[in-house]
């Protein structure tokens, strides 16, 4: 009888830094009921991947679950897959970390289940053609990728019921194509649709394998799917239906398919991921253009036949699209290099501890953004920085290095030098090429980057928010997440404001007369200076017990269509034992006339929760009506202002030599996540500003300090 082998893979993962209740919710709604169905259907043989993050959590919180899993591995119902432990995008991390993370998860899987996993789950199926060499070095013999990867190499649907061999520098790797069709029918269509498809493959009589593999969260966590898959019995029905067809549909593990079938041939796959991600990775205008193109192809009946020749970007494009993602990425590479450079000079145990923090800081989720929250989720970014800074701290604690170290190099990978200041308690990353701004400010005792913020920028999907989506009423069917357009809040449109610069620290503004707080907060104001994002020169010096970095720009104000030359110099002063930054501005009027200036320094502080009672502003000895970190308002004559985070045990104190006017407001982004459109608090802007007249040739000085300390 004609038969098809059916390899069924499930990938389960939760991001580093996700809330414990989210793990637990996913466990109750998906991971546990799925395993229970498996237990009651021992013939339903599948291949499972749990990311190391999730496996660690399960061990800690549901050790019994792992025992049950092991039993099914022992009975050969389940094949376990490896992966990179903390689920990084593999191409984004150094080779040594690729190997290290994979070996770690393989070890953990063996410890938990006794299974020697040979397959690897590729996070987000992000592939580049040079990977086989490193994967083989890490002991991986096969991976599972989307069939679109294969179609991009010119293979046709009917050639994809099997596995192929790919190669780099002579190292070979087996690759299975995941059927896109099955990815859409399971679990969203009736079981019969899947079976009918499998029967058709069987009828070819070619002794082939059909491959399904997808995220476990589609079975219970995605909106509506718990009802559908478990309560309404989709999975039970699917598995039972499969059992009835065991003569023509034989469930196999991927490793078995490798043993039983010869490879279909040789293949080389381009840099790709699943189709949707390749669209998201493009700049928003390009994403929209591509969507438009695809729509026109559909209208013209060309899409079906030719869509495999239509392609967007690839994962690394996210790093160019989102400077915030790039910064996190380059910080990660920098920390990785620090650890690598410490080889030999650090006890191996310490180095391993640092490595483990680093690897946790490589978890992919907040490094990119599509229709899942990702990069926009402040708590996920926060966890990345926390782990990376902990890795740095681990090395530093061992070395007991004293003093402040200032270095200049192209940290961000844009061809321009950055200035990195590292003291025992603080790290400051300055970008002279972009306004001499402060792009990262780490408070080491709390392992927190206070400058972990997001600018508001247009996303391709914002257009949809501006349209009326009342037509999207539930139609009874379980929609694929790609079709979902739910808003978690009314009138989110009003928050669609876009920034033209990056929301960080030490941003030097010159405002047009009459600029209001509202205009400024909405980024709909007139900047008359060119100091926000243009190049500054820098100078590094040592001044008695202080290390100083001076940043200077001779730029222009444009007022009444005249150009007024102006020099801004800002000097940062650090002393090793203090987590205090002294900042001195000198503004010089280089023109031949007097000029009225409205100058201010913007400082974003990212403290995660805008409306929590344990996080608030303090202003001198004045009581604030609204002291929450998300509050918006004006303050006059401020000498001292603090942002306090009792939860993280951090306070950030600003003290102004000349009493300052303060505008404060939150930066909130609007982004898509699994649950729909949502508003996310990103940072509190503190904008200290002064208005003054500067005569020709005159110089004015504005000084303040920023000190960071523990609350208690």
Residue of 129, 220, 203 lying closest to 171 (CA atoms): 129
User: Residue 311 Cβ, how far from its own copies at the closest point, in Å?
Assistant: 5
First to last CA, the chain: 74
**Part of the chain binding its own copies (CB under 8 A), chosen from 86-94, 242-250, 371-379, 467-475:** 86-94
Task: State the nearest-atom distance from the C-beta of 388 to its own copies, in Å.
Answer: 14
Catalytic residue among 25, 168, 171, 215: 215
- Local structure of residue 27 (DSSP, 8 states): I
Q: Which is nearer to its own copies, 69 or 92 (CB)?
A: 92
Q: Is 270 in the site for its own copies (CB under 8 A)?
A: yes
Scanning residues 520 to 549, which ones bind its own copies (CB under 8 A)? 535
Contact 285, 313 (CB under 8 A): no
Find the catalytic residue in 97, 108, 124, 527.
124
Which one of residues 102, 267, 450, 502 is an interface residue with its own copies (CB under 8 A)?
Answer: 267
The answer for residues whose C-beta is within 8 angstroms of residue 582's C-beta and 6 or more apart is: 546, 572, 573, 574, 703, 705
Smaller CB distance to its own copies: residue 10 or 91? Answer: 91
Which CA distances in Å does 569 have to 229, 553, 685?
A: 62, 7, 22
H or E segment to which residue 422 belongs: strand 418-422
Options 45-53, 351-359, 406-414, 510-518: segment touching its own copies (CB under 8 A): 406-414
Q: Is 94 in the site for its own copies (CB under 8 A)?
A: yes
Cis status, amide bond into 459, omega within 30 of 0: no
Ranges within 288-317 binding its own copies (CB under 8 A): 289-290, 293, 296-297, 300, 302, 305-306, 309-314, 316-317
Rounded CA-CA distance 401/302 in Å is 64
Question: Considering beta carbons, is residue 154 or 565 the nearer one to its own copies?
Answer: 154
Which lies closer to its own copies via its Cβ, residue 111 or residue 130? 130
Query: Applying CB under 8 A, which of residues 414, 558, 588, 705 lies at the interface with its own copies?
Result: 414
Strand pairing report for 142-146 and 171-178: parallel
Give the tokens for residue 481. Answer: 């997440």
CA dist 51 and 87 (Å) reads 6
Residue 637 has a CB neighbour count (10 Å cut-off) of 12
684 and 664 Cβ atoms separated by less than 8 Å: yes
DSSP structure string for 599-615? EEEEEEE--S-SS-TTE
415 binds its own copies (CB under 8 A): yes
Tokens of 15: 């991001």
Rounded distance between C-alpha atoms, residue 422 and residue 37, angstroms:
53
Cα angle value 581/585/591 (rounded, 5°): 165
Q: Residues 117, 271, 521, 549: which binds its own copies (CB under 8 A)?
A: 271
Is 124 assigned a catalytic role? yes
**Is 455 a binder of its own copies (CB under 8 A)?**
no
Closest separation between CB of residue 200 and its own copies, Å?
22
Considering only residues 61, 224, 268, 489, which one is a binding residue for its own copies as defined by CB under 8 A? 268
- Determine, following the binding rule CB under 8 A, whether residue 148 of this chain makes contact with its own copies: no
Q: Report the C-alpha gap between 305 and 301 in whole angstroms.
A: 8
Contact 641, 618 (CB under 8 A): yes
| Least CB distance to its own copies at residue 298 (A) | 12
- Of 29-37, 127-135, 424-432, 658-666, the segment contacting its own copies by CB under 8 A is 127-135
352 binds its own copies (CB under 8 A): no
State yes or no: residue 338 binds its own copies (CB under 8 A): no
* Interaction between residue 189 and its own copies (CB under 8 A): no
Of 36, 74, 416, 489, which lies in the binding site for its own copies, with binding defined by CB under 8 A? 416
Question: Applying CB under 8 A, does 333 fall inside the site for its own copies?
Answer: yes
Q: What is the DSSP letter of 29?
A: I
Nearest to 384 by CA among 440, 308, 312: 440
Single residue of 330, 444, 679, 702 touching its own copies by CB under 8 A: 330
640 binds its own copies (CB under 8 A): no
Phi, psi for 677 (deg, rounded to 5): -70, 135
Burial (Cβ within 10 Å: 0-12, 13-18, ≥19) of residue 331: buried
Helix (H) or strand (E) segment spanning residue 116: none
- Torsion sign across C-alpha atoms 150, 153, 156, 159: negative
Q: Shortest Cβ distance from residue 72 to its own copies (Å)? A: 29
Could you tell me how far CA 587 lies from the centroid of its own chain? Answer: 38
Using the rule CB under 8 A, which residue among 18, 51, 255, 326 binds its own copies?
Answer: 326
- Nearest-angstrom CA–CA distance, 189 and 521: 47
Q: Tell me the per-residue interface mask from 151 to 170 with its own copies, x by CB under 8 A, - otherwise.
A: -xxxxx--------x-x-xx
**Is residue 341 at the binding interface for its own copies, with CB under 8 A as the rule?**
no
Nearest approach in angstroms of CB 283 to its own copies is: 4
263 binds its own copies (CB under 8 A): yes
Backbone angles phi, psi at 418, to 5 degrees: -110, 165
Active site residue 626: no
Q: Smaller CB distance to its own copies: residue 102 or 333?
A: 333
Q: Which of 255, 350, 243, 250 is nearest to 4 (CA)?
A: 250
Q: Is 266 in the site for its own copies (CB under 8 A)?
A: yes
Is 260 near its own copies (CB under 8 A)?
A: no
Work out how close the CB of 158 gets to its own copies at its nearest, in angstroms, rounded to a whole number. 12
Q: Which residues form the catalytic set?
A: 124, 215
Where on the chain is the footprint of its own copies (CB under 8 A)? 91, 93-95, 128-130, 152-156, 165, 167, 169-170, 172, 174, 262-263, 265-268, 270-271, 282-283, 285-287, 289-290, 293, 296-297, 300, 302, 305-306, 309-314, 316-317, 319-321, 326, 330, 333-334, 337, 410, 412-416, 433, 535
């Amino acid at each position: 009888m004609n038969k098809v082998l059916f390899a069924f893979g499930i990938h389960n993962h939760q991001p580093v830094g996700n809330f414990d209740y989210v793990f637990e919710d996913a466990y109750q709604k998906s991971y546990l009921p799925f395993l229970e169905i498996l237990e009651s259907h021992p013939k339903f043989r599948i291949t499972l991947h749990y990311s190391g993050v999730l496996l660690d959590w399960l061990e800690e919180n549901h050790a019994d679950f792992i025992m049950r899993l092991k039993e099914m591995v022992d009975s050969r119902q389940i094949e376990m897959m490896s992966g990179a432990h903390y689920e990084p995008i593999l191409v984004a991390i150094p080779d040594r970390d690729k190997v290290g993370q994979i070996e770690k998860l393989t070890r953990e899987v063996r410890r938990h289940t006794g299974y020697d996993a040979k397959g690897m789950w590729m996070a987000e199926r992000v592939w580049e053609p040079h990977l086989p060499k490193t994967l083989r070095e890490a002991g991986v013999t096969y991976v599972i990728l989307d069939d679109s990867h294969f179609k991009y190499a010119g293979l046709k649907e009917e050639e994809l019921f099997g596995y192929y061999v790919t190669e780099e520098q002579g190292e070979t790797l087996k690759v299975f194509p995941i059927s896109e069709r099955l990815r859409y029918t399971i679990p969203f269509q009736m079981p019969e649709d899947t079976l009918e498809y499998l029967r058709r493959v069987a009828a070819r009589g070619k002794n082939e394998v059909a491959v399904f593999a997808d995220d476990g969260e589609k079975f219970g966590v995605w909106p509506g799917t718990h009802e559908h898959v478990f309560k309404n019995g989709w999975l039970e029905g699917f598995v039972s239906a499969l059992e009835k067809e065991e003569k023509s549909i034989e469930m196999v593990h991927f490793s078995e398919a490798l043993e039983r079938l010869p490879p279909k041939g040789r293949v080389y796959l381009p840099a790709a991921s699943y189709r949707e991600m390749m669209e998201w990775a493009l700049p928003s205008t390009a994403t929209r253009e591509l969507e438009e193109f695809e729509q026109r192809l559909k209208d013209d009946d060309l899409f079906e036949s030719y869509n495999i020749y239509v392609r967007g970007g690839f994962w690394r494009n996210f790093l160019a699209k989102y400077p915030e993602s790039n910064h996190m990425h380059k910080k990660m590479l920098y920390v990785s290099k620090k650890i690598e450079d410490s080889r030999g000079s650090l006890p191996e145990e310490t180095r391993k501890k640092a490595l483990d923090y680093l690897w946790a800081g490589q978890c992919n989720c907040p490094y990119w953004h599509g229709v899942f929250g990702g990069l926009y989720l402040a708590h996920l970014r926060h966890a990345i920085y926390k782990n990376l800074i902990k890795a740095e701290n681990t090395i530093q604690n061992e070395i007991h290095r004293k003093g402040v170290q200032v270095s200049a190099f192209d940290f961000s990978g844009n061809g321009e030098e950055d200035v990195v200041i590292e003291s025992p308690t603080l790290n400051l990353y300055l970008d002279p090429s972009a306004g001499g701004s402060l792009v990262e400010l780490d408070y080491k005792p709390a392992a927190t980057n206070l400058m972990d913020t997001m600018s508001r920028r247009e996303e391709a999907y914002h257009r949809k928010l501006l349209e009326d989506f009342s037509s999207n009423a539930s139609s009874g069917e379980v929609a694929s997440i790609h079709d979902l357009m739910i808003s978690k809040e009314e009138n989110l449109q009003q928050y669609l404001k876009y920034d033209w610069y990056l929301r960080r620290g030490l941003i030097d503004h010159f405002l047009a007369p009459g600029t209001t707080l509202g205009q400024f907060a909405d980024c709909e104001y007139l900047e008359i200076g060119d100091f926000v994002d243009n190049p500054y020169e820098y100078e590094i010096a040592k001044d008695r017990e202080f290390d100083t970095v001076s940043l200077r720009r001779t730029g222009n104000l444009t007022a009444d269509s005249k150009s007024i030359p102006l020099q801004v110099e800002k000097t940062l002063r650090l002393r090793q034992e203090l987590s205090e930054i002294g900042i001195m501005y000198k503004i010089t009027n280089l023109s031949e006339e007097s000029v009225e200036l409205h100058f201010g320094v913007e400082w974003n502080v990212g403290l995660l929760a805008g409306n929590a009672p344990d996080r608030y502003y303090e202003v001198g000895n004045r009581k604030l009506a609204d002291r929450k970190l998300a509050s918006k308002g004006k303050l006059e004559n401020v000498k001292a202002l603090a942002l306090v985070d009792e939860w993280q045990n951090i306070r950030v104190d600003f003290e102004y030599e000349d009493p300052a006017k303060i505008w404060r407001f939150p930066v909130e982004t609007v982004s898509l996540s699994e649950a729909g459109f949502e508003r996310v608090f990103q940072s509190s802007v503190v904008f200290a500003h002064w208005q003054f007249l500067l005569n020709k040739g005159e110089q004015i000085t504005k000084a303040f300090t920023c000190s960071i300390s523990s609350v208690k």
